[in-house]
Amino acid sequence: MKVQQLVAKAKQAGELIQGKDIVLLIGETGTGKSTTVQFLAGCKMSVTKVRINSEAYSDHITTTEPFKYPGLEHVISSPLCRSETRYLTPVTIPLKDVLGAYENGDITLCDAPGIGDTAGPEVDLANNVGVIEALKGCKSVKILVISSYTTLGGRGEGIQRLAHILINMIHGVEERLESIVYAFTRYPPNENINALLLNIKLNKVDQDRYLSRDNVFVAVLKDMIQKTENDKAYKIDPIHGDRKPLIRELQRLCGIQYPQQVIRFSMSGETREAIINQIQRDKLNVICSLKHKDSDLVLYYLNNVKIFNELIEHNAVQEAYEVSKKSVNESFVKHCADETDKIKRLVASNVELKQKDLEEIRANIARKAD
């Protein structure tokens, strides 16, 4: 998918959440974010067996009735382990539908693409561009972190990845923990999540010289442990669960103000490299199209570089943008000089200057300036 298309889609989502207090779902691909949005929106759900390859079947939970709220039709869950959600999709739920007729106001849940480096650079970039662009105009953001038992990993690697997604995405996350709530999908009913997390902290993190020195990571893990104490972990059971406690908690949470200054790109090293390669190609394409005097292509590639430059703070990106701009500028200056020479030659040749000649020169310059 083209960057421009992604940005356009993200802007549409951005318009829907402009000036709103929203809840953003964050989690790795396939952890159950879309399913959780459907559950919190009160959709009736049932489980079906879905064939995921020639040998294996998997339990898939889907909605069984028409969608009640606008936007829900775009919240799509997938049994296949690939990134299904590509854009930020807001769904607004009136609180009276969940908590009772006496409640005013509403809550806007934003389903988001899986963040992380599991799905390849293109998807990672798409996710980042979409989420960050769409969040620019909203008023505040509460974070609902989704962690799945299936991605936990034998030694808690899933929690580590998740914590690092949060750290990369939320600037100063350790000071914004009051804006975060954790929910857990696919956990066996009797599994004690708090004990699992505590075990990861004591037996993995505290024993690891590097991990235990990572203060921000330790702060996030401790926050998870504290928030799941006394059996308080929010386990998502999309079919039989009660959505009220989690909605109440989300309502109570205090959102991150000025999210555009706090929420940032969380892309993997692989994605960063892919973007830098892409930008170098776009820069060369600007120069090449200038040589071929194809102004449509010049504009197209220059715009690509410009979009990346607005989205990503990186020296290589900035440099590519500056070089592209400079090349276009120099080409324009040269073109004007050529046209000036043409006028001078015409004047010097004593041939009578015709209105037509001047108009042609003026049109040439104007076309380039465009």
The tokens for 301 are 């590639």
Site string for ligand GTP, 225-244 (x = CB under 6 A): -----------x-x------
From candidates 9, 33, 161, 201, binder to ligand GTP by CB under 6 A? 33
DSSP collapsed to 3 states, 140-198: EEEEEEEEEHHHCCCCCHHHHHHHHHHHHHECCHHHCHHHEEEEEECCCCCCCHHHHHH
Span from 7-15, 26-34, 152-160, 161-169 in contact with ligand GTP (CB under 6 A): 26-34
Q: How far apart are alpha carbons 29 and 182 in whole angstroms?
A: 16
Q: Which residue lies nearer to ligand GTP by CB, 60 or 139?
A: 60
Binds 31: which of Mg ion, ligand GTP, none (CB < 5-8 Å by kind) = ligand GTP
Q: How far apart are alpha carbons 54 and 186 in whole angstroms?
A: 24
| Contact in structure between 29 and 147 (CB atoms under 8 Å) | no
Q: Does 148 bind Mg ion (CB under 5 A)?
A: no
From candidates 6, 26, 43, 84, binder to ligand GTP by CB under 6 A? 84
Q: How far apart are alpha carbons 317 and 311 in whole angstroms?
A: 10
Span from 7-15, 56-64, 96-104, 131-139 in contact with ligand GTP (CB under 6 A): 56-64
DSSP state of 74: G
From candidates 113, 130, 156, 255, binder to ligand GTP by CB under 6 A? 113
Q: How far is the CB of 197 from ligand GTP (least distance, A)?
A: 18
Q: Does 85 bind Mg ion (CB under 5 A)?
A: yes
Site string for ligand GTP, 253-282 (x = CB under 6 A): ------------------------------
Q: Does 34 bind ligand GTP (CB under 6 A)?
A: yes
Torsion, Cα of 34, 37, 43, 44 (10° steps):
60
Q: Which of 25, 40, 251 lies closest to 147, judged by CA?
A: 25
| 349 burial type by CB count under 10 A (0-12 exposed, 13-18 middle, 19+ buried) | exposed
Binds 61: which of Mg ion, ligand GTP, none (CB < 5-8 Å by kind) = ligand GTP
Binding site for Mg ion (CB under 5 A): 33-34, 84-85
